[in-house]
Structures are given as C-alpha cells and as structure tokens.
Amino acid sequence: MKPSKRMAALVALICELGALPAFAATPDEAAKLKTTLTPLGAERAGNADGSIPAWTGDAPKRPAGLKAGSVTAAPFPDEKPLYQISAANMDKYAGKLSDATKYLMKTYPAYRLDVYPSHRTATAPQSVYDDTFKNATNAKLIKGGMSLEGAYGGLPFPIPKSGIEAIWNLYLNWKGVTVNTVYNMWLVTADGKQSLASTIDIIEQYPYYNPKSDAAKFNGVYWQHKALTTAPSRSAGEALMGVWYTDFKDKDPGAWQYLPGQRRVRKIPNVSYDTPNFYMSGVTQFDEAYGFFGKPDQMEFTLVGKREMYVPYNNNKFNATPPEQAFGPNFPKPESVRWELHRVWEVDVKLKPGMRNVVPKRKLYFDEDTWSVLLADEWDAQGKLYRGLVSYPFVSYDLPGVISLPFVTFDFQARAYSVAGFVQEYKPVPYKAESVFNPDSMVQDALR
C-alpha cells in the first residue's frame, strides 16, 4: 500500500471512531443530491430488473374524505401479493432476508411474507430537501461522534461515510415538526394472549425542523416529547416528558415522570441502554425503540454497505386492522402485513470494550429513502440470536412522509412479541411553546 493510501486509511479509521470531526460529503458529492441521488441521499434509479422502482418524488395522493391525521387508508388498496415467501421456498430468497425473518420461518411453518409491488412513497417538504443539501457539506461530528454541529432542518448526513453518521440520520430523519398521536402498546404471549400494556396520548415536537427558526437560532434541542398514559386503568394519569439534545457528550437527555399516586414529578435516569421499558411492562429495553434509541456511547457502529431486502412498507392497512385481527400467536398475521423489496443500508453494531448490555451485538437495516430502521437482528452474549425487530411503516398523507410505526420486538427465548406505536392517527398540530415541555407543566396538566 502506498503511503498516501495508508494515511487515507488511517484518517478514515480515526474518523469512524469519532476522534476527529468528519465532513460527510465534498461539494462534488453533494451535487449528486440533485442528479443521481434523491434529495435525502438514496439512489434515484431503480434496480436492474425493475423490482425496485425509481424514486420520483411524488407523494401518494390523499384519499378523498380522509380525516386529518388518519393513517388508516392504504395507498394501494387494489394491489394483490405478487408471491409469498415461506419456509418452503426461503432458500431462494435467503440473501434478501434478515436473520430474524429466517428464524421466524424456520420456527413457525405458518409464518410467511406476502410480497407486493414496491413503491418508494417516502417524500418530505422542499425545505427539508434544501436544508439537507446544505447539511451535506456543513454537518460534522465532534466529541468522539457524540455531538453534531453544522446541521439543521434536514438529514445531517445524506451521503454517510460511517456507522455513527447513520445513527445520527436515524435520530434526525423527517417525522414532522409537531405531531399529536396515540400510541397503543400491546404484548402477545407465546399462547397468543393479547394484553394492552399502555395507551399513550403523545405530543412529539422536533425543534430541529422548526420552519420559523434557522441554524443560527437552534439551541441543540432536537426532540421534545410529552406523553399522558390513558390506559389501562392502573396506569392512567401517568405522564412522561423528555428532551433530547444534539450533544450526547455533555448534555444527557432529560426525562421526567409524573405519578398520580405520588402527586409529584421526578427526574428519571437512563431512558437509554438496556433499561427495561416501563411502557412495555419491562419486556423490552429502551435502546430497542425505533430500531435503536438513546445515547450511542456504548456501541461501535460500522457502515457495511447497501443491499436489497424484503421489508414491511406502506403498511397503513396493518395500523387500520383491529388488534384481534392483526396479531396472531407468535407473530402478526401474515395477511395483515405488506412486504416489499427495497434497498437498505446495513450497519453492524457491537458493544465497546468495558461496556455492558444484554444485547452486545446487532445488525440494523436502514431504509435508504427515510433512514428509519426497518429491521434489526440482535444477539446475546453467547452469540445466540436473541431478538428480532421489525418496523411497519405507513404513509402519512399530512406531512407528507413515511413513518416507521409500529415497531415489533420478537423475543425468541420467550416466544412472545410486543407491538409498540400501533397508531391510527399521526396528526400535525401547531408548534408548541417551550413552556409546554417544562416539568412543571406536567403537574399543571394533571391538576386540570
């Protein structure tokens, strides 16, 4: 290897580890966002055989009479599955299936994928595209990759060079500005019994995407979250508020909880890592939410590359299906789920030396068009496949955009699964004042 190449390789390695700031794209690379790449960095072209279409930028047309915020209308209601993939023919498609998908097929003969025509429905407002173009050459990671600078209003790294940049794309992908929705959280045990873990009325706000602000005024708060539990009755009235920053090094995410029985607000630590998720009755951990969630400092992330995979997509029908019809024993009923062939970015995740997590190794598969995690495989400390995560994205006609909810966690040891973020509405609402996300407001809301 020539010295110049050795030096380039060393610099790339140092940047991957986050010891140096790394600009994600050169001006020439960024120019591709207006030619061969989509405004968010995916390939505009389809694949060679046409089974993945070209991206056109056209959002699905809103169905007539659809209520504001509703996600229950399927964008392609008349389409039928092209074919099915099951244990009987999975070897033919093995290279395009996650390990968790293959495990489910091998373990449960009735599990199958109903594969539909692929549609690249992911879009965003023009302002998001414009700011993504700016971010492509301005965004950089500092503080060992734990802090972001030079980005606002769009995807920070549309042309990623490292795994940690992929994670920041996940944190900051387009999900709207201020949204009201109701998350239903379900648990399904090995015998098929369904139980409602939580119903949560949520306001989620992304100041990073506030169109009335700009990069110069941005204070580093990228996500604000306020949730009121309304069911089941034993948990009704509990509230949670969270504030997340684009600096995980020096500003821990703030989280506060209100418990009606105590009539007070308390700050709660570690809404990250493998802390049991109380919304899911502790059967999943916080860092499994949305594919990966919380502080990234425990893990090393390696960007493997891009591949074609079968993933759930355009699943408005799934969210519209009543739970008793959507959830079967061991897995959601195959007829309620739409699978498509899409390109994904693969990221390997492993625990850093000296750290502890019950899931020390993972693979994450990011949708190239949205940078949401669509699939994840997780292994335990003995190297055994432990859990599988699957997101079921729906089209939001109001944003517009594609939102990766719900996300399902399969526990292969307990032979059970959980469904988080099963929603029927995803409604944009007016921007909220900072005071709404003050811990004191949680008490005021409870007393009303």
pLDDT single digits (tens) 325-341 = 999 999 999 999 999 99
* Contact call for residues 415 and 330 (beta carbons, < 8 A): yes
Residue 55 located in a structural domain: no
Residue 120 located in a structural domain: yes
Residue 300 located in a structural domain: yes
How far is the C-alpha of 57 from the C-alpha of 42, rounded, in Å?
12
Amino acid symbol at 204: E
Angstrom distances, CA of residue 426 to CA of 72, 396, 436, 442? 10, 7, 19, 22
Residue 49 located in a structural domain: no
Q: Which residues have C-beta within 8 Å of that of residue 178, sequence separation ≥ 6?
A: 203, 204, 205, 206, 428, 429, 430, 431, 432
pLDDT in the model for residue 22? 55
pLDDT in the model for residue 428? 98
Residue 33 located in a structural domain: no
> Is the pLDDT confidence value at 241 over 50?
yes
> Is the pLDDT confidence value at 18 over 70?
no
Where residue 277 sits, what CATH number does that domain have? 2.50.20.10
334: helix, strand or coil: helix
Q: Could you tell me which residue, 255 or 427, shows the higher pLDDT? A: 427
> Is the pLDDT confidence value at 11 over 60?
no
pLDDT in the model for residue 447? 56
Residue 219 located in a structural domain: yes
Question: Which of the four pLDDT bands, split at 50, 70 and 90, describes residue 3?
Answer: very low
How far is the C-alpha of 391 from the C-alpha of 17, rounded, in Å?
28
Residue 422 located in a structural domain: yes
pLDDT in the model for residue 12? 46
How far is the C-alpha of 413 from the C-alpha of 60, rounded, in Å?
40
pLDDT tens by residue, 62-117: 999 999 999 999 999 999 999 999 999 999 999 999 999 999 999 999 999 999 99
> Is the pLDDT confidence value at 129 over 50?
yes
Beta bridge mates, 147: 142, 247
Which of 17-26, 299-308, 374-383 bottoms out in mean pLDDT, i.e. has the lowest? 17-26
> Is the pLDDT confidence value at 438 over 80?
yes
Q: Which domain holds residue 423?
A: 83-447
364 alpha-carbon distance from chain centroid: 10
How far is the C-alpha of 57 from the C-alpha of 164, rounded, in Å?
27
Mean pLDDT, all residues of the chain: 92
Mean local confidence (pLDDT), 426-438: 95
Mean local confidence (pLDDT), 192-220: 95
**Total-model pTM:** 0.93
How far is the C-alpha of 350 from the C-alpha of 334, rounded, in Å?
31
Mean local confidence (pLDDT), 314-321: 97
* Contact call for residues 211 and 127 (beta carbons, < 8 A): yes
> Is the pLDDT confidence value at 260 over 70?
yes
Q: Structural domain tally of the chain?
A: 1
Residue 386 located in a structural domain: yes
Mean local confidence (pLDDT), 1-27: 53
* Contact call for residues 168 and 156 (beta carbons, < 8 A): yes
Beta bridge mates, 367: 344
